[in-house]
Chains A and B, each alone.
Chain A
Amino acid sequence: MRFTLSWLKEHLDTQASLQEITDKLTQLGLVVDKVENKADVLAPFTICEIVDIEEHPNADRLKVCTVNTGKDVLQIVCGGINARKGLKTVLARPGDVIPSSGQVLKVGKVRDVDSFGMLCSAEELLLAEESEGILEVDPSAPVGEVYAKWMKLDDPVIEIEITPNRGDCLGVYGIARDLAATGIGTLKPLKKESVKGKYPCFVSIQLDPEACDHFTARLIKGVKNGPSPDWLQRKLIEIGLRPISALVDITNYYTIDRSRPLHVFDADKLKGNLNIRLSKKGETFDALDGKTYTLDEGMSVITDDSGVISLGGIMGGASTGCDENTTNVLLEAGLFEPILTAITGRTLGIHSDARFRFERSGADPEYTLLGLEAGTQMILDLCGGDVSEVIQVGKAPNYRKHLEFRPERVATLGGANVSFSKIKTILTSLGFESKGNDLELNIYTPSWRPDIEQEADMVEEILRVEGYDSIPSVPYSERPEGKPLSPLQERRFVIRDRLSGRGLVEATTWSFISQKDADQFGGIPESLSILNPISQDMAVMRPSILPNLLKAVEYNQNRGFDSIGLFEVGPQFQDPTPNGQSMMATGVRAGAFTPGNWKEKKRNVDLYDAKADALAILEMNAQLDRSAPGWYHPGRSGCFKLGNQILGYFGELHPSILRAFDVKGPAVAFEIFIDRIPLPKKKTTAKPKLTLSPYQAVERDFAFVVGKDVLAEAVIKAVQKADTQLIESIGLFDVFELPEDKKSLGIRIRLQPKDHTLSEEEIQSFSQKIISTVSQATGGVLRQ
């Protein structure tokens, strides 16, 4: 909402400064977005006079002007077709910034003739969207004076944001009323116009109350339409509206001034009588914006015998619009229902000042007829004419509400101490009627405040006029009874720290991906497709985080990174129910694990890196099998399980996936369902008891030759079975392949006796036991 300071002062009698006014607006909840003053950018431009003019020697369309600036006389080359001797216009000097282009003006030569300045057009000074020729200043204007000052363009334009509940402040008058309540001025009473009609209105109007609550209209014959007077044009231009013609400008004026949209039909273009009704599906409407709209069922329309001529509360029609030839005009003021207006406007995609106000209940339901009368008077004043009687159909619903308000709630809910008498004063100035005492007030809300429904709303009214600064802040003294995070929630942070501690970089990527990417990762059900996606790349909820991470790998590989490790802790989706969303810790490593440096050789990632990442998250002995999904290498991937529950996957990514995502391998990944990892059973701080043995520990190495397909885990388990007391640890220090589909596993066993030092014989017999157990379990033999 934009308005000028002087416009505000037409309704508010105040001595307050601009700063005080804008501070109060913000305090009231009408937050000031910006304050502009044209005079600031126009300050350098002064009034000058062309005292002599000659044709340009080298160009037909240019003239060489001799210009009196009041201080000196300058030669200026000018292309304005209206440049002539004796014309007063506006001068820009070298060094001035031209508002339209932002360029600094320089002394120049135009076709070999020196030019020491520029004569400006309205367009160049941003005083009009387009203009022809240079500005023509009134002959009485003093040469040398600052143009903006002489034209009184130093009127600040204030732009405020109006929240959806405050439609009443979509008019300057409503803003003035709010400001007056704060005590910085007084609201000037509205002149209640009433123009007596001289004859009955010829049109008859039918109204379906579903389409419109209240509709008023009257005919004004013999008007003279044309450009509106300077004061009205300038008012509209200053707030960013384009003057069109007196009749249209008047309707726009009341839209801004009183939040009361009006509409004018050219009465001679109407065919028959008016019917305000709900539209039928498929009806078409040629709107004033030059477009044709096909209507749905149930929109509010104004029709004549030719069909739809106006979309109620939104936009008038092209066929009945007013122009300079209009002599008979039908002025209309209706009260259109907010929800109906909102749906219609949104369905058709029409934005207008009228729609904006009706859908926010901006038009005061008790002002419809008064608005028509005020509009009538201004038409008479500016265009003349003979006025008919008013036709009224329907009636405004009673928007006033009765509610009870305990003034103590200002303190007990609002936390502010405001005296009862102050509360009463505020209520009155905002238009509330109140009866009762300081224990309970009976409130009647004003017609323009349908947003006020209950006591809490009343508390806000008092607080915002008084200012939220008047609420003393109370230290928030509650203190915790436990930890803010549940163990499951805290786990996510622990995992983040752990994975980043392992050298991975945390990513945060979008929850939605393309259908194509989703299909590569198991696909998604129809129910996870967004109905109105922002683009095809963000069309469905992700079934895995990997596609996003692989895209990021490709992005960073293209920027020269060859050692990339990324992870994300976030949701993936199986179905749209709350349980269909799983919290994942997913990661990718690509290229080098260690890039290589002067101490260590470069090493590429392999699936054991991903397995280590996965185990760092799992922190438990889970079952392991080969049932990882298809985006992994079938022979180089694994699936961790707990019973039937899948805890996660790890492995080398399938080459076709790498190709699809343009990722340079090797690349490995892991995906862990972190909420499925069981929580530690009992929370105890005590650790199991440790007895330190005083006897020498013994390490022995064994190399077993086993079949290529024998799993390392089988050999280790066999070793473990040989003894549960003595073996402290089993390590795998060497694996290599042998001919004839065999491989060698180097196993280091550490024995820790508890009660005596082991003798060589004991160690020997123990070794034999291990060898035979392994042999029995796996067919392995000790390598000779």
Chain B
Amino acid sequence: MDTIGQLKSQVIREVEATSSLQELEEVRVKALGKKGHLTLLMKDLGQKTPEERKTLGAELNVLKDALTQALDLKKVKLETETINAKLGKETLDITLPPRPDQKGIVHPLSHALDEVIRIFGQMGFVVAEGPDIEEDFFNFTALNFPPEHPARQEHDTFYMPPSPDGQPLLLRTHTSPVQIRTMTAGEPPIRIISTGRTYRSDYDATHSPMFHQIEVLVVDTKTHMGHLKGCIEEFCRLFFEDPNLKLRFRPGFFPFTEPSAEVDIMWKDGKWLEILGCGMVHPNVLRNCNIDPDKYQGFAVGMGLDRVTMLKYGIDDLRLFYETDLRWLNHYGFTPEARG
């Protein structure tokens, strides 16, 4: 009895004293190996009486279990310590920068255009397009600009050499010619937006010889100015992300709309800011496109993409849109997003 008790406490003491897996293995072999103390005691059992064998055998088995468990526990402990010691020496500087992303930049005008199209797209508009080099007819005449009217002069037009058949050509001064191209090519109901490059011979802090416009056109049998207001309010509130944005509609003048309106939004500084022009499509314009103004009506909107982009993102110099200064693009541009 004493032998078993002594052996147990001795082995457990030795297990606890080990400080490496190797030492632990030595202790295990000394106790449980082929010639280990416990193994030898087990072997001795054969020489005992069946009575003794039974009681002593049971005791030895309990002892074996206890020693095995103590060895296993210690082994886990030592292994954990070993791996911890190893990992402790493998520390890296986590403040070092990772490999840089190869991410580029989307121009703020493209980003804003994407949003504009998304908003009007949800309202059922589809995108229509026209060429940058336009016929005078599409840019002015069909849009009800009388030949020598001051309204035509206000456009500061860039002229191109006339076409071989004598058509006067120019760089379109607005996206409105797309209205004419759409209406002459199709039948109402029409619901389009058109975006693109436009040109006027004017260059200073607030004018660029090239800029971008967004055109909206609706022609059907029933759309009136109330719908025009509703449509523009919805657009402006979504685009400027302010559901309470205040808008002001006031009379304006465009040869191709009647009645015409200018739209202001109440900006953060409490001042009205002119943001777009719009109105009901002028009956003369409908007639020029062979659409009966007694049957059809609708509205048109023209808006500067550059202007609304500047407002939305707090960009203060129009000219920098076109400078391709990487410092500016990195600051005002957008990282590419997944398109839905």
Give the distance in Å from the alpha carbon of A343 to the alpha carbon of B152 in the complex: 12
Q: Which residues of B are found within 8 Å of A713, using beta-carbon distances?
A: none
Q: Kindly list chain A residues whose C-beta atoms are within 8 Å of the C-beta of B124.
A: 478-481
Given A413-B297, A414-B225: A506 and B107 interface contact (C-beta under 8 Å)? yes
Query: CB distance B324 to A474 under 8 Å?
Result: no
B197 touches A463 (CB 8 A): no
C-alpha spacing A165/B262, complex, angstroms = 15
Within 8 A of A (CB), among B300-329: 321-327, 329
Any A CB within 8 A of the CB of B205 = no
Is the beta-carbon distance between B339 and A164 smaller than 8 angstroms?
A: no
Q: Which of A38-46, A84-92, A180-188, A485-493 is the contact stretch?
A: A485-493
Contact A474 B96 (CB under 8 A): no
**Do A576 and B283 touch across chains, with their CB atoms under 8 A apart?**
no
Tally the A-B contacts, defined by beta carbons under 8 Å.
269
With contacts A471-B229, A505-B333, A509-B322 known, is A163 near B259, CB below 8 A? no
| A514 on interface, CB distance cutoff 8 Å | no
Contact: A28 with B251, CB < 8 Å? yes
Q: Does A353 contact B (CB under 8 A)?
A: no
**Which residue in B126, B154, B251 is a CB contact (below 8 Å) of A484?**
B126
Q: How far is the CA of A360 from the CA of B149 in the complex (A)?
A: 8
Give the chain B neighbours of A508 by CB distance below 8 A. Answer: 107, 109-110, 321-322, 324
Q: Which residue of A lies closest to B126 (CB)?
A: A484
A576 touches B226 (CB 8 A): no
- A486-511 CB mask vs B (1 if < 8 Å, else 0) is 10010001101111111111111111
Contact partners of B260 in chain A: CB under 8 A:
460
Indicate if B269 sits at the interface (CB-CB under 8 A). Answer: no
- A299 vs B105: C-alpha distance in the bound complex, in angstroms? 56
| Beta-carbon nearest neighbor of B103 in chain A | A503
Inter-chain pairs besides A500-B335, A532-B201, 14 sampled, C-beta below 8 Å: A164-B149, A342-B150, A359-B150, A415-B224, A454-B258, A457-B258, A473-B233, A498-B336, A503-B102, A505-B333, A508-B110, A509-B324, A548-B324, A581-B131
A339 CB–B CB distance under 8 Å: yes
Whether A769 is near chain B, meaning CB under 8 Å from some CB there, is: no
**B70 CB-CB contact with A under 8 Å:** no
Known: A460-B260, A561-B326. A473 touches B230 (CB 8 A): yes
Could you write out 9 A-B pairs with CB less than 8 Å apart?
A413-B297, A415-B229, A463-B225, A471-B229, A478-B124, A498-B336, A555-B324, A555-B325, A576-B161
Across the interface, do A474 and B227 meet the contact criterion of CB distance under 8 Å?
yes
Q: State the CA gap A559–B248 with chains docked (Å).
A: 44
Q: Are B324 and A163 touching (Cβ within 8 A)?
A: no
Task: Tell me which of B9-17, B28-36, B59-67, B113-121 binds A.
Answer: B113-121
**CB < 8 Å neighbour of A474 from B123, B229, B325, B327:** B229
Whether B224 contacts A413 by the Cβ 8 Å rule is yes
Q: Which of B100, B199, B280, B322 contacts A456 (CB 8 A)?
A: B280
Please tell me if the beta carbons of A414 and B224 are within 8 angstroms of each other in the complex: yes
- Determine the chain B residues whose CB is within 8 A of the CB of A533 once the complex forms: 158
B249 touches A468 (CB 8 A): yes
**Chain A residues within 8 Å of B99, by CB:** 597, 599-600
Q: Do A463 and B127 have beta carbons less than 8 Å apart?
A: no
Q: Which of A343, A532, A581 contacts B133 (CB 8 A)?
A: A581
Task: Please tell me if A439 contacts chain B, counting CB pairs below 8 Å.
Answer: no
- Of all chain B residues, the one with the shortest Cβ separation from A481 is B124
Contact present for A578 and B322 (CB under 8 Å):
no
- Whether B123 lies near A476 (C-beta < 8 A) is yes
B209 close to A538 (CB less than 8 A): yes
- Asked whether, in the complex, the Cβ of A26 is within 8 Å of the Cβ of B249, the reply is no
Residue of A nearest to B150 (CB): A164
Complexed CA–CA distance, A494 and B339 (Å): 8
Q: Is the CB of A496 within 8 A of B106?
A: yes
The CA of A527 and the CA of B164, in the complex, are separated in Å by 9
Q: B-facing mask of A523-557, CB < 8 A → 1, else 0?
A: 00011111111100010010000001101100110
Cβ contacts B210-230/A at 8 Å (1 or 0 each): 100000000000101111111
CA A501 to CA B201, docked complex, whole Å = 35
A27's closest neighbor in chain B, by CB?
Answer: B250
The answer to whether A532 touches B158, judged by C-beta atoms less than 8 angstroms apart, is yes
Given A460-B258, A485-B117, A531-B160, is A510 in contact with B322 using a C-beta cutoff of 8 Å?
A: yes
A177 CA to B259 CA, complexed, in Å: 20
**B residues near A531, Cβ cutoff 8 Å:** 158-161
Question: Are A511 and B259 neighbours in the complex by a CB distance under 8 Å?
Answer: no
Query: Which residues on B are within 8 Å of A, measured CB to CB?
Result: 96-97, 99-100, 102-107, 109-110, 114, 117-118, 120-127, 129-133, 146-151, 153-154, 158-161, 163, 169, 171, 191, 193, 197, 199, 201, 203, 209-210, 222, 224-231, 233-234, 248-253, 258-262, 280, 282-283, 297, 321-327, 329-330, 333, 335-339
CB-based contact A469/B249 at 8 Å: yes
Q: A489-B129, A501-B336, A555-B325 are in contact. Are A31 and B104 (CB under 8 A)?
A: no
Tell me the minimal C-beta distance from B279 to chain A in angstroms.
8
Q: Beta-carbon contacts of A561-582 to B below 8 Å, as 1s and 0s?
A: 1001111011101001110110
Q: Are A475 and B107 neighbours in the complex by a CB distance under 8 Å?
A: no
Q: Of B127, B147, B210, B283, which is within 8 A of A511 by CB?
A: B210
Known contacts A511-B132, A600-B99; is A506 also within 8 Å of B153 by CB?
no
Using a CB-CB cutoff of 8 Å, which residues 677-734 of chain A contact chain B?
A: none
- A371–B205 Cα gap in the complex (Å)? 42
Q: Are the CB atoms of B339 and A471 closer together than 8 Å?
A: no
Asked whether A31 lies within 8 Å of B262 as measured between CB atoms, the reply is yes
- Which residue on chain A has the smallest CB distance to residue B100? A597
Q: Is the CB of B252 within 8 A of A573?
A: no
**Cross-chain contact B104 with A565 (CB below 8 angstroms):** yes
A751 at the interface (CB under 8 A from B): no
Q: Which 7 A-B pairs have the closest CB atoms?
A: A29-B251, A415-B226, A484-B121, A460-B259, A163-B253, A552-B324, A473-B229
A529 B252 Cβ-Cβ under 8 A: no
- Verify A505–B226 contact, CB threshold 8 A: no
Residue in B222, B262, B336 whose beta carbon sits within 8 Å of that of A496 in the complex: B336
Closest CB-CB distance, B207 to chain A, in whole Å? 10
Shortest beta-carbon distance from A603 to chain B in Å = 12
Indicate which residue in A463, A476, A570 contacts B230 across the interface (CB closer than 8 Å): A476
Q: Chain A nearest CB: distance from B213 CB in Å?
A: 14
- Supposing A460-B251, A464-B251, A556-B326 touch, asked if A484 and B117 sit within 8 A by C-beta, the answer is yes
Interface assignment of A412: CB less than 8 Å from any CB of chain B: yes
Chain A CB count within 10 A is highest, among B106, B121, B321, B322, for B106
Chain B positions within 8 Å of A580 at CB level: 133
Whether B150 and A497, one on each chain, are in contact in the complex, defined by CB atoms closer than 8 angstroms, is: no
When chains A and B are docked, how far (Å) is the Cα of A576 from the Cα of B136?
A: 13
Once the chains bind, are A534 and B203 in contact (CB under 8 Å)?
Answer: yes
- Let me know if A346 is at the binding interface, CB within 8 A: yes
**Interface contact B225-A415, CB-CB below 8 Å:** yes
A27-B250, A564-B326 known; A506+B158 contact, CB < 8 A: no
In the complex, which of the residues A26, A471, A502, A598 contacts B96, with contact meaning CB atoms closer than 8 Å? A598
Q: A485-B117, A486-B127 are in contact. Are A463 and B251 (CB under 8 A)?
A: yes
Q: What distance in Å separates the Cβ of B285 from its nearest Cβ neighbour in chain A?
A: 10
Closest residue of chain B to A548 (Cβ to Cβ) is: B324
Take A456-B280, A527-B160, A576-B133 as given contacts and tell me if A500 and B105 are in contact as well, using a CB distance cutoff of 8 Å: yes
> Which one, A497, A548, A559, contacts B339 given CB within 8 A?
A497
* CA gap between A503 and B330 in the complex, in Å: 12
The chain A residue sitting closest to B203, CB to CB, is A534
Nearest residue (CB) in A for B258 is A456
Closest B residue to A415 using CB positions: B226
Within the complex, the shortest CB–CB distance from B36 to chain A, in Å, comes to 47
* Minimum C-beta distance from B48 to chain A (A): 59
Distance (whole angstroms) from the CB of B202 to the closest CB of chain A: 8
Query: Cα distance A765–B223 when bound, in Å?
Result: 77
A416 within 8 A of B: yes
Knowing A485-B117, A511-B210 are in contact, say whether A339-B154 is a contact too (CB < 8 A).
Answer: no
In this assembly, does A472 line the interface, its C-beta being within 8 Å of a C-beta of chain B?
A: yes
**B residues in contact with A489, CB < 8 Å:** 127, 129
CB–CB A464/B259 < 8 A: yes
Complex CA gap A253/B85 in Å reads 99
**Is A166 interfacial (CB 8 A cutoff)?**
yes
